């Protein structure tokens, strides 16, 4: 189920007594789900979105991920900036920041950069989840070495079977256990036909190949989860997707769905 991160946090305390995903808990979830700790120095384009005012200071206010695609340009998910998540329009969030160069949210490494402006895709459809992206302009620039190229339409990295890696500070068990440090998981890009079969349209969303790409493992186990939204799916040295939605986390037959970066390239250029 795709729910606003805020609500998941609120429910986290109750999760021990009332499992949110009883039958849905992946078998071998050690960490993102089924992943491994990642070094931020090796994926410097992965950033955290933060608002301590809204989400508290214990995890530096992290509530979503993002990816650096220009020295002062970060992509994230539109749903991260929705009123359902923020409780207000993004312009009203005074302390909205991007945290770069910090793997461990409890450390002071890297930098916190205020967001100067927010552009949410006006074609984002919160019913199907189509077009789930937003563009953040930073108040100051990051080094060129933090920038990752975007994969355009026709890039071979979109071919089914391609090995990709998803990065984030989200839920590592599917039960509301948000990571303190950056995690990554290897997932396989799936054919549109497989994604369409998994998501023909229900309350979670509808797979639309024009603006989405899906990835996972046939047996489940490795996936993005709540709190990873907006973060990057990387293959062959390029960002090909942004964490967007899916049914549960790490479930067989329910791959993670990502905003297709070539759709973003086409929309903003
Ligand atoms: C979410 O709610 C979410 N398993 C993100 C990714 C996935 C599911 C839900 C994919 O932000």
Say if residue 81 is in the same domain as residue 174. no
Position with higher pLDDT, 66 vs 269: 66
- Ligand 1 centroid from CA 70, angstroms: 25
Confirm whether 230 is domain-assigned: yes
228 Cα: distance to centroid of ligand 1 (angstroms): 7
pLDDT at res. 9: 29
Q: Residue 223 has what pLDDT?
A: 97
In the reported structure, the alpha carbon of residue 101 is separated from the centroid of ligand 1 by a whole-number distance in angstroms of 24
54 SS3 class: helix
The mean per-residue pLDDT over the stretch 40-51 comes to: 98
Taking the CA of residue 64 as reference, the ligand 1 atom at the shortest distance is 11
CATH code of the domain containing 231: 2.40.10.10
The number of the ligand 1 atom at minimal distance from the alpha carbon of 79 is 11
Secondary-structure percent of the chain, ordered helix, strand, coil, rounded to 5: 20, 30, 50
Does residue 174's CB lie within 6 angstroms of at least one atom of ligand 1? no
**Interval between CA 152 and ligand 1 midpoint (Å):** 24
Residues 6+ away with beta carbon under 8 Å from 210: 130, 260, 263
**Residue 228 Cβ contacting ligand 1 at under 6 Å:** yes
Decide if pLDDT at 67 tops 50: yes
Determine whether 122 is exposed, middle or buried from the number of CB atoms within 10 Å of its CB (0-12, 13-18, 19+): exposed
| Cα–Cα distance, 76 to 74 (Å, whole number) | 7
When the pLDDT of each residue in the chain is averaged and rounded to a whole number, the result is: 89
Owning domain of residue 103? 12-23+44-146
Which among 65, 40, 30 is positioned nearest to 170, based on CA atoms?
A: 65
Q: What is the best residue among 224, 227, 251 to mutate for testing ligand 1's pocket, by most ligand atoms within 8 Å of CB?
A: 224
The answer as to whether 1 is a domain residue is no
Nearest atom, ligand 1, residue 2 CA: 2
- Decide if 37 is inside a domain: no
Q: Is 246 in the pocket of ligand 1 (CB under 6 A)?
A: yes
220 lines ligand 1 (CB under 6 A): no
Above 90 in pLDDT, residue 220?
Answer: yes
Residue 226 Cα to ligand 1 middle (Å):
5
What is the percent of the chain where pLDDT is above 90? 86
Shared domain check, 258 and 223: yes
CA distances from 14 to 8, 17, 18, 206 (A): 10, 6, 6, 30
**Domain-terminating residue out of 114, 146, 178:** 146
- 3-class DSSP state for residue 73? strand
Quote the CA–CA distance of 238 and 223 in Å, as a whole number. 19
Verify whether residue 123 is a known catalytic residue. Answer: no
Co-location of 130 and 254 in the same domain: no
Is the confidence at residue 150, as pLDDT, over 90? yes
What pLDDT, on the 0 to 100 scale, is given for residue 51? 98
In a domain? residue 30: no
Question: Contact at 8 Å (CB) between 54 and 87?
Answer: yes
pLDDT of 104 reads 98
Are residue 85 and residue 173 in the same domain, yes or no?
A: no
Residue 202 lies in a domain: yes
- Ligand 1 centroid distance, CA of 244 (Å): 6
Condensed to tens digits (0 to 9), the pLDDT of residues 183-203 reads 999 999 999 999 999 999 999
Mean pLDDT value of segment 244-257: 97
Q: How far is CA 183 from CA 107, 112, 173, 228, in A?
A: 16, 19, 12, 10
Whether 130 and 171 map to the same domain: the answer is: no
Over pLDDT 70: what percentage of the chain? 88
Domain boundary among 87, 121, 146: 146
**How many domains does the chain fold into?**
2
- List helix spans (H) across the chain: 5-12, 52-55, 83-86, 192-198, 261-268
- Which candidate in 132, 155, 223, 228 is catalytic? 132
- Please check whether residue 132 is in contact with residue 82, taking contact to mean a CB–CB distance below 8 angstroms: no
Q: According to the model, what pLDDT value does residue 244 have?
A: 98
For residues 119 and 208, state if they share a domain: no
Same domain for 18 and 117, yes or no, is yes
Q: Is 127 helix (H, G, I), strand (E, B) or coil?
A: coil
Active site residue 229: yes
128 and 17 part of one domain: yes
Provide the whole-model pTM: 0.90
Separation of first and last alpha carbons in the chain: 32
Q: Say if ligand 1 is within 6 A of residue 182 CB.
A: no
Residue 6 placed within a domain: no
The model's confidence at residue 32, banded by pLDDT at 50, 70 and 90, is: confident
Contacts of 27 (CB under 8 A, 6+ apart): 220, 221
Same domain, 17 and 142: yes
Is 79 assigned a catalytic role? yes
User: How much is the average pLDDT of 50-57?
Assistant: 97
Both 81 and 111 in one domain: the answer is yes
Q: Is residue 29 part of a domain?
A: no
pLDDT 10s digits, 80-125: 999 999 999 999 999 999 999 999 999 999 999 999 999 999 999 9
Tell me which of 121, 146, 171 is where a domain ends.
Answer: 146
Catalytic pick among 51, 79, 146, 171: 79
Q: Are residues 61 and 186 located together in one domain of the fold?
A: no
- What pLDDT does 22 receive? 31
């Amino acid at each position: 189920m795709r729910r606003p991160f805020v609500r998941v946090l609120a429910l986290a305390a109750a999760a021990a007594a009332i499992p949110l995903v009883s039958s849905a808990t992946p078998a071998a979830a050690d960490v993102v789900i089924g992943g491994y700790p990642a070094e931020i120095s090796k994926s410097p384009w992965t950033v955290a979105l933060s608002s301590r005012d809204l989400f508290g200071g214990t995890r530096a206010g992290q509530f979503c991920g993002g990816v650096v695609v220009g020295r002062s340009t970060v992509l994230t998910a539109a749903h991260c900036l929705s009123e359902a998540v923020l409780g207000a329009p993004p312009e009203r969030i005074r302390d909205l920041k991007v945290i770069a160069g910090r793997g461990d949210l409890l450390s002071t490494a890297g930098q916190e950069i205020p967001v100067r402006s927010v552009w949410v895709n006006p074609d984002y459809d919160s019913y199907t989840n189509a077009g789930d992206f937003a563009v953040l302009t930073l108040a100051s620039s990051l080094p060129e070495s933090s920038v990752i190229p975007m994969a355009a339409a026709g890039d071979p990295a979109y071919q089914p079977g391609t090995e990709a890696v998803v990065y984030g500070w989200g839920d590592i068990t599917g039960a509301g256990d948000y990571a303190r440090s950056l995690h990554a998981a290897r997932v396989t890009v799936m054919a549109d036909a497989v994604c369409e079969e998994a998501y023909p349209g229900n309350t979670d969303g509808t797979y639309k190949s024009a603006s989405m790409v899906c990835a996972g493992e046939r047996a489940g186990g490795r996936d993005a989860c709540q709190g990873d939204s907006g973060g990057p799916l990387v293959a062959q040295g390029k960002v090909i997707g942004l964490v967007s939605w899916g049914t549960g986390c790490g479930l067989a037959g329910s791959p993670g769905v990502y905003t297709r970066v070539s759709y973003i390239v086409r929309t903003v250029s």
